[in-house]
Chains A and B, each alone.
Chain A
Amino acid sequence: MTKRLGWFLAGGLLVALLLAGVVSNFASSNPDGLDATAREGCTFNADGEITGGTCIAQQEGEHQLAGSPLADYGIKGIDNSFLSTALAGTAGVLITFGIGAGLFWVARRRSAQDQDA
Chain B
Amino acid sequence: METTAMHIANGIVDGPVSAVFAVLAIAALAVCVRKAGHDLDERLAPMAGLVAAFIFAVQMLNFNVLPGVSGHLLGGTLAVILVGPWVGALCVSTVLIVQCLVFSDGGVTALGLNITNMALLGTAAGYLLVAGLLRILPKTASGLAVTAFIASVISVVVASQGFVLEYALGGTTDLSLPWVSGAMAGVHVLIGIGEGLIAATTVATVAKVRPDLVYALRRFRKPVTVPEVGVTA
Q: Which residues of A contact B (CB under 8 A)?
A: 1, 5, 8-9, 12-13, 15-17, 19-20, 23-24, 27-38, 40-41, 48, 54-66, 68, 70-74, 81, 88-89, 92-105, 107-109, 111-114, 117
Contact = CB atoms under 8 A, between A and B. Distances in A.
A1 B187 contact: no
Interface string B46-61: 1111111110111011
The residue among A16, A40, A54, A96 with the most chain B CB atoms within 10 A of its own CB is A96
Interface stretch (B101-109, B134-142, B146-154): B101-109
A37 B184 contact: yes
11 contacts: A15-B57, A36-B69, A36-B187, A58-B172, A64-B109, A89-B60, A96-B95, A97-B52, A104-B49, A105-B49, A113-B229
Given A101-B49, A107-B37, 19 more contacts: A9-B46, A13-B53, A19-B61, A27-B62, A29-B3, A31-B3, A33-B190, A34-B6, A37-B184, A56-B173, A59-B172, A63-B108, A73-B4, A88-B103, A92-B99, A98-B49, A99-B98, A101-B46, A111-B41
Given A27-B60, A34-B160, A72-B105, A60 B50 contact: no
Assign chain B's interface to a size class.
35 or more
A71 B107 CA distance: 12
A104 B45 contact: yes
A81 B36 CA distance: 39
A30 B3 contact: yes
Interface stretch (B8-16, B121-129, B217-225): B8-16
A97 B191 contact: no
Given A73-B105, A92-B98, A63 B10 contact: yes
A29 B5 contact: no
Nearest to A81: B1
Contact of B62 (A1, A32, A59, A88): A32
